[in-house]
């Protein structure tokens, strides 16, 4: 195997692999990428047995062949090459010579035959999707995915096509929930929703970030998801399990509804959370006549208070929340104002755009 390729092109392929390859693994080959040179160019494959990405790249192929190489070390090498072009040549015993300008490296590789095969997904019906829309949906749900490995069905986002040509994505960690519904017309041929794992979702987000306007296709087979865009294919295993009945968690319209300037609320929460106790980020949200009051107290540091002026008439209430959870929602809200619905001190808070619940976040209260 021998080929010549633009260093930037090879760097792009290896960058895509960084989030997928396993650094600490009992199978050393999973820390590698499979480089395959054929007449049309090269393909670079990264696979951790759950997520696989195959990307195609133009190259001047002198001799076809394949080998696997360390994703991390070769990426570091390619980032620091002196020339815009790089040549890779396979030597005896799977060693690979990497040369660019005055720099030469001889890297230990592993046999291509030992690299695990990606699952074949010919039977996944592909639907053309808007990359920008899919990217927005991921950003508006990713923060609520659970990181508790013991509750594995919450370690991903629930992808649920609706009968209206829309798709709903939902994430919850038990303390908060994020739901977004957008137009993604097309028949995914799913009987019910599927759970896309967090790691796969983050890699999908990274691929969409590269070129959100590129033509994208998404499909699902029995236990896998398939994503394609020009020159790239991604396959990932889905989480096997039943997502909880999330509709039960979303309250009907709260007793107390206020419109709050988003930036002003976000700034107030950041300030007051500086004095919240330990890692809970606990703050109190109080509603009084024409005021929303954010307070925090810490026996070791003192107290903090911030007052936002707004239109409110009704009974007062004080509810404890994790400020970080509220800030995560506000960070992805695109409207200047946010509708904040509150009940009593035991009821969750609900945030959404005024008059539009297509993106809704629910934050459970906490004792403060």
pLDDT tens digit string along 136-182? 999 999 999 999 999 999 999 999 999 888 999 999 999 999 999 99
Q: Same domain for 273 and 310?
A: yes
Mean pLDDT, the chain, rounded, equals: 94
Is 118 within a domain? Answer: no
Name the nearest CA neighbour of 107 among 122, 128, 90, 121. Answer: 90
Lowest mean pLDDT among 38-42, 123-127, 259-263: 123-127
Residue-wise pLDDT for 331-360, tens only, equals 999 999 999 999 999 999 999 999 999 999
Q: Is the pLDDT of residue 5 over 90?
A: yes
pLDDT for 253 = 78
The total number of structural domains in the chain stands at: 3
Is 121 within a domain? Answer: no
How many whole angstroms separate alpha carbon 140 and alpha carbon 56? 30
Q: Same domain for 241 and 133?
A: yes
Higher per-residue confidence, 276 vs 324 = 324
Longest dimension (CA), the chain: 80
Q: Same domain for 217 and 296?
A: no
pLDDT for 277 = 72
Q: Is the pLDDT of residue 121 over 90?
A: no
Q: Are 184 and 202 in contact (CB under 8 A)?
A: no
For residue 277, what are the domain limits?
251-363
Q: Same domain for 97 and 12?
A: yes
Is 188 within a domain? Answer: yes
Is 192 within a domain? Answer: yes
Q: Is the pLDDT of residue 24 over 80?
A: no
Q: Same domain for 262 and 352?
A: yes
Q: Same domain for 181 and 290?
A: no
Is 167 within a domain? Answer: yes
Is 74 within a domain? Answer: yes
Is 12 within a domain? Answer: yes
Name the nearest CA neighbour of 361 among 135, 143, 132, 138. Answer: 143
Q: Same domain for 93 and 146?
A: no
Q: Is the pLDDT of residue 2 over 90?
A: yes
pLDDT for 22 = 83
How many whole angstroms separate alpha carbon 145 and alpha carbon 227? 21
Is 119 within a domain? Answer: no
pLDDT for 295 = 97
**Which CATH number belongs to the domain containing residue 32 in this structure?**
3.10.150.10
Alpha-carbon distances, residue 138 vs 142, 148, 156, 206 (angstroms): 6, 19, 11, 11
Q: Same domain for 240 and 262?
A: no
Residue 158 tokens, joined: 């629930």
pLDDT for 87 = 98
pLDDT for 63 = 97
> Which of 57, 76, 110 is the last residue in one of the domains?
110
């Amino acid at each position: 195997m021998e080929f010549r390729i633009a260093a930037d092109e090879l760097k792009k392929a290896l960058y895509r692999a960084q989030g997928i390859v396993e650094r600490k693994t009992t199978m050393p080959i999973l820390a590698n990428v499979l480089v395959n040179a054929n007449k049309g160019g090269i393909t670079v494959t990264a696979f951790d047995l759950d997520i696989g990405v195959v990307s195609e790249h133009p190259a001047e192929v002198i001799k076809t062949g394949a080998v696997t190489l360390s994703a991390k070390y070769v990426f570091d090498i390619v980032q620091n090459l002196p020339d815009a072009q790089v040549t890779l040549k396979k030597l005896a015993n799977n060693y690979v010579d990497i040369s660019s300008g005055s720099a030469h490296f001889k890297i230990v590789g592993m046999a291509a035959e030992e690299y695990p095969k990606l699952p074949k997904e010919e039977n996944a019906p592909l639907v053309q999707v808007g990359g920008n829309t899919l990217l927005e949906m991921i950003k508006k749900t990713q923060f609520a995915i659970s990181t508790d490995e013991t509750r594995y069905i919450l370690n991903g986002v629930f992808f649920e096509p609706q009968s209206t040509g829309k798709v709903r994505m939902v994430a919850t960690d038990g303390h908060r929930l994020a739901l977004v519904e957008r137009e993604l017309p097309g028949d995914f041929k799913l009987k019910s929703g599927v759970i896309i794992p967090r790691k796969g979702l983050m890699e999908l987000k990274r691929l969409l970030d590269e070129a959100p306007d590129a033509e994208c296709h998404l499909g699902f087979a029995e236990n896998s998801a398939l994503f394609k865009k020009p020159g790239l294919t991604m396959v990932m295993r889905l989480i096997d399990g039943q997502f909880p009945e999330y509709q039960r968690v979303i309250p009907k319209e709260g007793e107390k509804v206020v419109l709050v300037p988003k930036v002003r609320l976000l700034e107030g929460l950041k300030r007051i959370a500086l004095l919240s106790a330990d890692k809970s980020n606990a703050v109190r949200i109080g509603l009084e006549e024409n005021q929303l009051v954010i307070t925090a107290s810490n026996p070791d540091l003192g107290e903090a208070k911030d007052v936002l002026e707004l239109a409110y008439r009704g009974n007062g209430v004080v509810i404890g929340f994790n400020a970080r959870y509220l800030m995560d929602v506000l960070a992805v809200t695109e409207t200047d104002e946010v509708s904040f619905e509150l009940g009593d001190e035991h009821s969750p808070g609900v945030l959404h755009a005024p008059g539009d619940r297509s993106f809704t976040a629910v934050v459970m209260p906490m004792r403060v």
